[in-house]
Chains A and B, each alone.
Chain A
Amino acid sequence: MKSHVWRPLFVVLAIVALVFAARKVLVPSDFGVGERGYMYGWHRPSNEQQWKDVKVKYRTAQHCKECHKDKYDEIKSSPHGNINCENCHGPGLGHPEDPKALDIDRSRELCTRCHLKLKYHGSGREKIRGIDPARHNPGLECVTCHWPHDPRKEGHNK
């Protein structure tokens, strides 16, 4: 290869070598083809565990039941039985350590999520008893008269 014509090629090869060297440094060593093949599985496997390690915020009603069995039983036997505690009480997180107490959302907007009357034939929504919030005691919290843990009972002021 005496001819000078090949010199640019050497520069090119040097650059390519540089790229490969950079790859060794910058790319995590476990990066590769996963179980789903190259098209759908080209990734860094350690990321899967990172996603599994995300903190759980909502503990579910089963968790609340451990300490608040009375409230749990009350709501479970009521028409509101299928509503998760945390829908209105917010996520459990580390309660009772942190937070010590959960904020209860007593707003009208929360109740009207289901109880705004919508005459939608063909949807389960039609069966839910509802009101027109502009007409039915506007501005007043629903829980003033309605007890959320058992809507058959009268509400009480808190």
Chain B
Amino acid sequence: MISRRSFCKKSLLIAGGLAIPFSALELFDPKRLLAEKDQKGARWVFLVDTEKCVGCGFCVQGCKIENEIPYDANVTRTWVERYVVTKDGKTHIDSPKGARDGFKTTEIDIGEGKFEPIRDDDIEKAFFVPKLCNQCDNPPCVQVCPVGATYQTADGVVLVDRQWCIGCGYCIMGCPYGVRFFHPVHHVAEKCNFCYHRITKGMQTACIDACAFGARRIGNLRDPEDPVTKIIMTERVNVLKEEYGTKPQVFYVGFSKEVK
């Protein structure tokens, strides 16, 4: 006859063992989101092709004007980074004014008005990486807002309520990608919102319209026929800083190991 103690021990063991397959870590899986087809509305996703980006910076200019970020202010909702890998194995990275005026020189901007010259024949490879808010599925910035001034809409875009934000800056500290900043005029938190006022009217974002090379695309993850969704599902894409568990929804084609 089994003792009470033994029975309890064994049943806990069995229950625990059964729980393991059920609680198996749900790795980030676009298919799961796709399966929620019965849910109404879109889930916006962005696709960045770093093979196509040429670093012209028209996207940054367009974004600033469309979203009324003061042109001369050194903050921007989106930016382009330049990566130059030289033969000595070093990676040189810069983003002068967020590439608002493009990249005007071969020299790398290393801050405080200093530049590092790079010789053409020293370059092994170089490329451009546009960045913007990832509208994460688990947005850490929303989690840390103390007053509910930032939130995620049903279609996945993270917005900031300008009338409610107290300007504590916790969301800015909470974002691993550095996409948030204080708006120099409104003095509240600010970030890219996929040009919410455009995409909800059937338009493209300002940065997509400005890009002449097709490096930026937007799609609806809940629509299996969407060309962007098809690329995400069928081709090799990557996301930024996956280890943070934020589940970002901006996918990169041509993502290289040097990208920060």
Chain B residue nearest to A118 in the complex (CB)? B106
**Given the complex, which residues of A lie within 8 Å of B214, measured CB to CB?**
82
CA distance A114 to B99 in the complex (A): 12
From 42 to 79 in chain A, residues with beta carbon under 8 angstroms from any chain B beta carbon are 42-44, 47-48, 51-58, 60
Name A's interface SS. Answer: loop
User: With the chains together, A119 CA to B203 CA distance in Å?
Assistant: 35
B212:A43 contact, CB within 8 angstroms:
no
The 8 residue pairs across chains A and B that have the minimum distance between CB atoms: A113-B102, A43-B151, A120-B126, A54-B197, A42-B148, A122-B125, A35-B154, A113-B56
Main secondary structure on B side of the interface with A: loop
A31, CB-defined interface residue at 8 Å: yes
Q: When chains A and B are docked, how far (Å) is the Cα of A84 from the Cα of B212? A: 7
One of A8-16, A123-131, A135-143, A144-152 contacting the partner: A123-131
Tally of A-B Cβ pairs under 8 angstroms: 147
Least CB distance, A137 to chain B, in whole angstroms:
17
Is A116 interfacial (CB 8 A cutoff)?
yes
Complex contact B54–A125 (CB within 8 A): yes
Known interface pairs A120-B125, A122-B125, A122-B127; A52-B52 also in contact (CB < 8 Å): no
Judge whether B152 and A41 touch: CB under 8 Å: yes
What is the chain B residue whose CB lies nearest that of A80? B212
Contact B196 A83 (CB under 8 A): no
In this complex, the member of B53, B57, B198 whose beta carbon has the largest number of chain A beta carbons within 10 angstroms is: B198
